[in-house]
Amino acid sequence: MKLKWSLFAMMLTIAAVLTGCEPLLVLDPKGPQAERLASDILLTMGIMLFIVLAVFGLLIYMLVKYRASKQPADYEPPHIHGNIWVETICVGVPILIVAYLSFVSVQSNYIVEAKPEGYGDKEPLVVYASSSNWKWHFSYPEENIETVNYLYIPTDRPLEFKLYSHGPITSFWIPQLGGQKYAMNDHVTTLHLAADAPGEYMGRNSNFSGEGFAENTFNVTAMSQEDFDEWVDEVKETADPLTKQEFTELLEPGHLGQLTYTGTHLEFSPPNEHHHGQAEEDEASDEETEESHEDHSEHEDMTQSEHEHMNH
């Protein structure tokens, strides 16, 4: 009896604590990409809940129907070799569930990888987001400013992040705006996001990258386009220019607060945007050029040999 009341009290305590928790950030979307991911998560949770309830219902039914009872000593239960309907359901239903979730996942992947829908022909704001141990550098090439460990973005405008790393592989993630994507050294990846509502959001590196990983975070502030333009003008009037020497010092391992500069490191330390696919095309083009030169040389040699033969 004491054990039963102890378990009951523990369950009440857990329920009371959980009611005070804030909602999960991934289930509180503030952008179209995040909304799509949140709907997929809720769909998956609903399917899993249905499966769990169905399994527990069947378990209770079996325990009640086939529970031990008083039978004669010579009673022998019937021998059952199998049931075609039970086997079909046990195999077919999981296949249908996996096939449906696979279709939804592939469809969502194409949606979140593309430019957010609903913004018409608006030009995206391009931001180069690069990581170093253990900081985030945000370069605005059009505005010619750069920030460290904080990001200002306009609402109702598509965002195009160019991700790369100055050190180990990291993962750029703003849970309320979309999913994570890796930032790698010597390679640039692109992430499309958008913010529908102004507010303060949390961003972080979601890939373990060393002892300072836990504090490898950044703050995101979404605001109207007018407020964003005012912020850009203020930065250009008040911030110090970013020099190559100072940027080199910023790349040293360690934690920093929020910093703001005019100019970007893209001027003297641009990322390598030569993707692997383009490299293969260039290599094939070089091979074709070399073959063309070889054919041309062979043609010239043959022509010269023919002329010498005719003169002879």
| Tens digit of each residue's pLDDT (9 = 90 or more) over 109-137 | 999 999 998 887 889 999 999 999 999 99
One domain, residues 88 and 151:
no
Give the DSSP letter of residue 187: B
Which residues, including other chains, have CB under 8 Å from residue 137's CB and lie 6 or more apart? 128, 129, 130, 131, 146, 147, 148, 166, 250, 265
Q: Are residues 163 and 188 in the same domain?
A: yes
Backbone angles phi, psi at 235, to 5 degrees: -60, -45
- Compute CA distances 12 → 9, 50, 197, whole Å: 5, 24, 36
Same domain, 93 and 163: no
The answer to whether position 229 is within a domain reads yes
Q: Check residue 17 and give its pLDDT.
A: 53
Domain co-membership, 155 together with 246: yes
| Same structural domain, 149 and 96 | no
Q: Is residue 16 in some structural domain?
A: no
pLDDT exceeds cutoff 80 at 295? no
* pLDDT at site 307: 45
Do 241 and 137 lie in a common domain? yes
What torsion, rounded to 10 degrees, do the Cα atoms 296, 297, 300, 306 define? -120
Total domains in the fold of the chain: 2
Mean pLDDT, the chain, rounded, equals 85
User: Whose CA is closest to 155, among 212, 200, 101, 102?
Assistant: 200
Q: Do 102 and 182 sit in the same domain of this protein?
A: no
Within a domain: 160: yes
Does 229 lie in the same domain as 153? yes
Strand, helix or coil for residue 7: helix
Instruction: Express each pLDDT in 10-54 by its tens digit.
Output: 666 665 555 445 568 899 999 999 999 999 999 999 999 999 999
Give residue-wise pLDDT tens across range 173-186: 999 999 999 999 98
pLDDT of amino acid 144: 97
Range(s) of the domain holding residue 146:
125-262
Q: What's the rounded mean pLDDT across residues 190-214?
A: 93
**Residue 8, in any domain of the structure:** no
Dist. CA 75–CA 70, nearest whole Å: 10
Please give the helix or strand (H or E) that residue 153 lies within, else none: strand 150-154
Could you read off the pLDDT of 129-158 as tens digits, one per residue?
A: 999 999 999 999 999 999 999 999 999 999
How far apart, in Å, are the Cα atoms of 87 and each of 47, 48, 58, 78, 258?
21, 20, 15, 19, 61
Cβ pair 112, 174 in contact under 8 A = no
Residue 71 banded pLDDT, cuts 50, 70, 90: confident
For 233-251, the pLDDT digits (tens) are 999 999 999 999 999 999 9
